[in-house]
Amino acid sequence: MLSVQNVAVRLGRSAILHDVSLTACAGSLTAIVGPNGSGKTTLLRALTGDVPFSGSATLNGRNIARADPADLAGIRAVVAQSTQLAFPFTVLEVVRLGLRHGGDALAIQALSDVGLGAHAGRDMQTLSGGEQSRVHLARALVQVWQPADDDGPRWFFLDEPVAALDIGHQLLVMKIARRFADAGGGVIAVMHDLNLSAMFADQIVLLHGGRVKAQGAPSQVLTNALLSDAYDCTVRVGCAPASGPWLVPQAMEA
Ligand SMILES: Nc1ncnc2c1ncn2[C@@H]1O[C@H](COP(=O)(O)OP(=O)(O)O)[C@@H](O)[C@H]1O
Ligand SMILES: [Mg+2]
């Protein structure tokens, strides 16, 4: 379980997150949504132990602020919003970064799962943005697939995992995340696409101005009033038969 209570983050002289409390259970997919600059990445980085915070946050009972990084790496994998590589790695070398023990079979399997089985030998820098993003997901997959000392649930923390992807690969990646959650893992994914969030998430956390504006099932959070207010534009939420809410922004006022 991920349990977050009264988390606040200051960066430099700016207060970025205020009094954030939320819980997420293993076996579920939580989407963190909100406008640009609302604090989604900062929250994810606090929860992965990469940004100092006040308040309390625990993952599988471990205090995230004080946990040993190697211990945390055994239970959760992170895909950041953007990653700069310092060296000219091949695709396979990037995926291997997620391996603690030798053996390329897992890495090859993960690359195949994200649709990049034929690209293992390519120079990472020559891949498109969307392909690079899927390589990083493959790296995270091999990290959570390996046995760890702890037999508790594993977690994915994903920052905009589908932002650079075409619609087919968006569905591929969301299905991988969904399957991971259905198999007992926990997924925390920062999302801009509210329709994909409605389709795949069990719960949605809506951030606005560094605060949690709403948290709950998609039907509770994806409402005309909450979204129009948070995103400062008119959003219309409909309901497709048998598939839940869908949303359209209103480009023109009636
Ligand atoms: N190192 C920093 N110093 C000061 N402000 C920062 C820093 N990093 C991010 N911010 C600010 O914090 C706010 C939240 O950023 P971020 O968490 O990246 O937003 P989001 O991911 O929701 O778009 C933004 O206003 C951003 O400009
Ligand atoms: Mg961000």
pLDDT, residue 248, reads 72
- Residues 43 and 2 sit within 8 Å (Cβ to Cβ): no
Ligand 1 centroid to Cα of residue 36, in Å, is 9
pLDDT, residue 252, reads 60
Convert the chain into a string of H (helix), E (strand) and C (coil).
CEEEEEEEEEECCEEEEEEEEEEECCCCEEEEECCCCCCHHHHHHHHCCCCCCEEEEEECCEECCCCCHHHHHHHEEEECCCCCCCCCCEHHHHHHCCCCCCCCHHHHHHHHHCCCHHHCCCEHHHCCHHHHHHHHHHHHHHHHHCCCCCCCCCEEEEECCCCCCCHHHHHHHHHHHHHHHHCCCEEEEECCCHHHHHHHCCEEEEEECCEEEEEECHHHHCCHHHHHHHHCCCEEEEEECCCEEEEEECCCCC
Residue nearest to atom 24 of ligand 1 (CA): 37
Q: Is 127 exposed, middle or buried (0-12, 13-18, 19+ CB in 10 A)?
A: middle
pLDDT, residue 46, reads 98
Ligand 2 centroid to Cα of residue 242, in Å, is 32
Residue nearest to atom 12 of ligand 1 (CA): 16
Ligand 2 centroid to Cα of residue 104, in Å, is 32
**What CA–CA distances, in Å, run from 220 to 23, 162, 206, 214?**
16, 23, 11, 8
Any idea which ligand is nearest the CA of 210? 1
Low-confidence residues in the chain, pLDDT < 50: none
pLDDT, residue 112, reads 97
- Residues 138 and 79 sit within 8 Å (Cβ to Cβ): no
Q: Does residue 244 come out as left (phi exceeding 0), alpha (psi in the -120 to 50 range) or beta?
A: left
Tell me the per-residue pLDDT of 158-170, one tens digit each, with 9 for 90 and over: 999 999 999 999 9
How many Å apart are CA 88 and CA 16, to the nearest integer?
A: 34
Ligand 1 centroid to Cα of residue 66, in Å, is 23
pLDDT, residue 151, reads 78
Name all residues whose Cβ lies below 6 A of ligand 1.
11-12, 14, 16, 34, 36-42
Name the residue of 7, 9, 14, 190 whose CB sits within 8 Å of the most ligand 1 atoms, as the mutation to test its pocket: 14
How many Å apart are CA 77 and CA 112, to the nearest integer?
A: 19
Q: What is the CA radius of gyration of the chain?
A: 18
Ligand 2 centroid to Cα of residue 103, in Å, is 34
Residue nearest to atom 17 of ligand 1 (CA): 39
How many Å apart are CA 221 and CA 219, to the nearest integer?
A: 6
Ligand 2 centroid to Cα of residue 194, in Å, is 15
pLDDT, residue 231, reads 95
Q: Which domains does the chain have, with CATH numbers?
A: 2-249 (3.40.50.300)
Q: For residue 210, give the ligand 1 atom closest to its CA.
A: 14
Any idea which ligand is nearest the CA of 36? 1
pLDDT, residue 239, reads 80
